[in-house]
Structure formats: structure tokens, C-alpha cells
Amino acid sequence: MRQINASIDVDRRLAPQDLAGSRAHAAMLARQGIISADDEASIQRGLDLIEAEIASGAFVYDAALEDIHMHVEARLAELIGPAAGRLHTARSRNDQVALDFRLWVREACDRVLAGLEALQRALLNRADEAADALMPGYTHLQSAQPVTLGHHLMAYVEMFGRDAARFGDARRRMNECPLGAAALAGTSFPIDRDATAKALGFDRPTANSMDSVASRDFALEALGAGTIAATHLSRLAEEIVFWVSPGFGFIALSDAFTTGSSIMPQKRNPDAAELIRAKVGRVLGAFTQLTVTMKGLPLTYGKDMQEDKAPTFEAFDALELSLAAMTGMLADLTIRREVMAAAAGQAFSTATDMADWLVRTLNLPFREAHHVTGRAVARAEALGVTLDALPLAELKALDPRITPDLADVLDPARSAASRVSYGGTAPDQVRAQIAAWRARLA
């Protein structure tokens, strides 16, 4: 029973939140005349001592005391005597743990928000430098049209921006204080829930005492936002993995973010990127685990809910580390402009530009232009040349009105520069998006 019941190995991480909650609760109890000022002073002094013991490593943890709440209360009694017993007036471990966990998740959201912003800034810096660096744009991982690396990186700035918005929303919704719900029904003591909510940085107290102790959707929401963010991280990580592979060679990672092989001396492996690619499993795992734990639970508190913390802690540890590693890796990597630019012109990547030229210059319907271009590509492929190296006679055989001007639009740099529609890949558009994001983050 002791083994299955104890949560101290996990919830000892809640000590700072538990102490903060107890300080606010004790101060409120004294202000409301529920405990004496002397008792409150002893309690606050005792909580300070416990905080120092935890910081110095002197605090003793014992599975027999179950969880962090019992540990603090028991040690407080040893330190200050009977006054310790007054701290738990008008409070239950049910609202206490709901508060502690909510405070922890709120802080985790703030750390993730800071991490997302740092990552966006790293992306913006590299995007700025690569606003006109050509690379192949892909669909189906087949070379589609030339784009710029700046444009590609800015796609992630958008994704991480929405992730930040999701965390911001989740944080706003969770910012209500459950303390004072007591076991489940509220309390007969004249507590001041607005005061404790304010002292702990909440917007207001939660409005229903049963919901307060029974709900963990604040954590689910943060884990949901985290799962999506980790998914975005894994996509960027995967792209980095193949960008550094010899087949691509678009970028090089520094020694700081790669490891050597124990047998093959020539290898530098992108381990950080691979690990980021994998970490999403932990975050989604935590979301799944907590969803299944909460599913079908009758109101209000059930000990099942003690299982909420381990996955949540693990998920946020993974997410925060992934954000930091990705930010460092981006700041550090080398962009190989010439390799990317050469690849951008391969695989008939400007075929769409030829079709567009036929529409614009010869007034062909797009479908027919598409067809003519397809035949040009087939001829070029058969002759083993690029589209712009196709002899004019070959082109004239497809449509006699084709002139040498066509060659101009087949240049990948011109192709990218021509995509000037809002949100398009033209370097000026990319620079405008970078400026807009910089202003947004400022």
C-alpha cells in the first residue's frame, strides 16, 4: 500500500508551489481572523525554514509520508509545534494539489512561451540572412518550384507563432485559483478566496468548488498545445536531418550539435535533431495518458488523479529541452547557399514558370500550357538537358510562337523573385514577413 500510494518521488517537484500556496493561505486565514497573527508568523517562519532545507538538500523525504503536502505539514509541526496544525484549516489536500499542479503547469506554459519566442527569433535571424537564398521547394518531397530558405524558415515562424497563441490561450483559461474549494464542497470558514487568488497571481477564484478539485483539463490543454508544438519541432528536425545528409548537403551542423560514430571515423551524426524528432512521442504519450486517466472519472477527486503529474512533468521537460536544442542548432548551423541554389534549378523546377509564360505571352489556356510544358520536359529529359538548355527548334516544334525570351523565366532566381503575391516566396515578400514578425515580437 505504501508503495502504490506514495507520490513523493514525483510531486517533490511541487515543493515551491506548495509553499507558495501555504503562505498565501496562512496570510489570508490570519487576515480573516481564522487563525491568530502569532500562529501565522510561526507558520511563515516555518515555511521559510523548510524552503531553505529543500534548497540545501537537508530536507528528508520518506515514502511513509505519501506526498509533498504531508511532508511539508509534518516538517512544519516538527519545526514550530502545534501552530502547524492550524495551517490546514479550511483547506484539503484536494484543493491544495489542484492549486500546486495548476501553478506548476502555468509556470511551465510561461517557460514554453519564452522558449518558443527564442526559437522564433533564431528562425528570424537565419531567415533574414537567407531571404534570397534559393532552395528547392517540395511537395511529396519532390522538387516542385524554387523557393528561398528564408521563406521556408518563415513557415516555421508562423507555426511556432500559433503554438505560442495556443499556450497563451490555455494559460489565460487556467488562470483561476482553486484554493478554497476545500475537499469538494467549499468551507464554512469565512475565507477570502479573492485574496488568495490575487496573492498567487490568478485572475479570479474558480467558480465551482467541485469543478475546482475534479478538473485537470488545464493540464490536458497545455499538453495538447505541447503535442502540436512538438509535432512542428519534429518536422523541422526531420528536415534538418535530411538537409545535412550527403544527398542534400544544404546545411552543415556544428560539432556542438552532432556526435561522432564509435566505428566510422568520417561520420557526424545529427543526434540532437533526431532526438527532437523523437520527443514528440513523450508529449503525445503524456496527453494520451492523462486523457485516459481522466476519462469516465466520476466527480470529484479520485486518487487516479495523482497519476496526472509524472507524464506532465516528463512532457514539459522534453518539450523545453527540444525548444532549447532546436534554437541552439539553428543559431549554429552553416547554410550552404551554392549547394541549395544548384539543387533549386534541378528537376525541371521552373516548369510552372514556362507554363505561366505560355499563358501570359501566347495567351494559351493554362491547361494547354501545362500540356505543352509537359512535352518540353519530356524532350529535355530524353535529351538529358535542363529546360533552359532545350534548343529553340525543339520548343518551336511544340509551339512555333515560342521566342528565346522564354529562357529568362526558366532561371530559378527569377522564378522565386516573381512570386510576389502576398505570402509568396519573392525575397521582398519574405523580408516584409520578417519585419512584420519582428514588430510583433518586439
In whole angstroms, how close is the CB of 93 to ligand ARG at the nearest point?
4
If the CB atoms of residues 67 and 73 are measured against ligand ARG, the closer one turns out to be 67
Cell digits of residue 123: 528562425
Residue with cell 495538447: 224
Nearer to ligand ARG, 301 or 437 (CB): 301
Q: Whose CA is closest to 309, among 231, 209, 222?
A: 222
Q: Minimum CB separation from ligand ARG for residue 236, in Å?
A: 35
CB of 220 to ligand ARG, least distance (A): 16
How does DSSP classify residue 139?
A: E
69, 209, 261, 370: the active-site residue? 261
Residues in the chain: 442
Asked if 244 and 297 count as a contact pair (C-beta separation under 8 A), the reply is: no
Residue 405: exposed, middle, or buried by beta-carbon count in 10 A (0-12, 13-18, 19+)?
A: exposed
> Residue for cell digits 475534479?
214
Helical ranges in 295-308 per DSSP H: none
- In whole angstroms, how far apart are CA 138 and each of 148, 295, 382? 12, 41, 23
- 371 carries an active-site annotation: no
Q: Residue 19: which residues within 8 A CB-CB, separation 6 or more?
A: 47, 50, 51, 72
- Residue among 103 and 276 whose Cβ is closer to ligand ARG: 103
Which residue among 56, 140, 262, 421 is the active-site one? 140
The DSSP secondary-structure symbol of 421 reads S
Q: Which residue, among 248, 244, 393, has the nearest Cα to 330 in the 3D structure?
A: 244
In angstroms, give the least distance from the CB of 10 to ligand ARG.
8
Q: In the complex with ligand ARG, which residue's Cβ is closer, 310 or 407?
A: 310
Tell me if residue 71 is catalytic: no
Residues binding ligand ARG (CB under 6 A): 7, 11, 67, 69, 93-94, 97, 301, 303, 305-306
Nearer to ligand ARG, 1 or 442 (CB): 1
Q: What is the 3-state secondary structure (H, E, C) of 42-80?
A: HHHHHHHHHHHHHHHCCCCCCHHHCCHHHHHHHHHHHHH
Nearest CB to ligand ARG, comparing residues 11 and 40: 11
The phi, psi pair for 216, rounded to 5°, reads -130, 20
From residue 306, how far is each of 1, 4, 88, 92, 327 by CA, in Å? 15, 11, 20, 15, 34
Nearer to ligand ARG, 42 or 94 (CB): 94
Tell me the C-alpha to C-alpha distance, in Å, between residue 388 and each of 129, 394, 396, 405, 407.
28, 11, 14, 11, 5
Q: At what angle do helices 309-332 and 93-129 cross, to 10 degrees?
A: 10
**Residue 101: which residues within 8 A CB-CB, separation 6 or more?**
14, 17, 216, 219, 308, 309, 312
Q: Which residues, 6 or more positions from 128, have their beta carbon under 8 angstroms from its beta carbon?
A: 150, 431, 434
Compute the distance between CA of residue 144 and CA of residue 140 in angstroms, rounded to an integer.
Answer: 9
- To ligand ARG, the closest distance from the beta carbon of 294 in angstroms equals 13
Q: Is 264 helix (H, G, I), strand (E, B) or coil?
A: coil
Toward ligand ARG, which CB reaches closer, 97 or 315? 97
Catalytic center residues: 140, 261
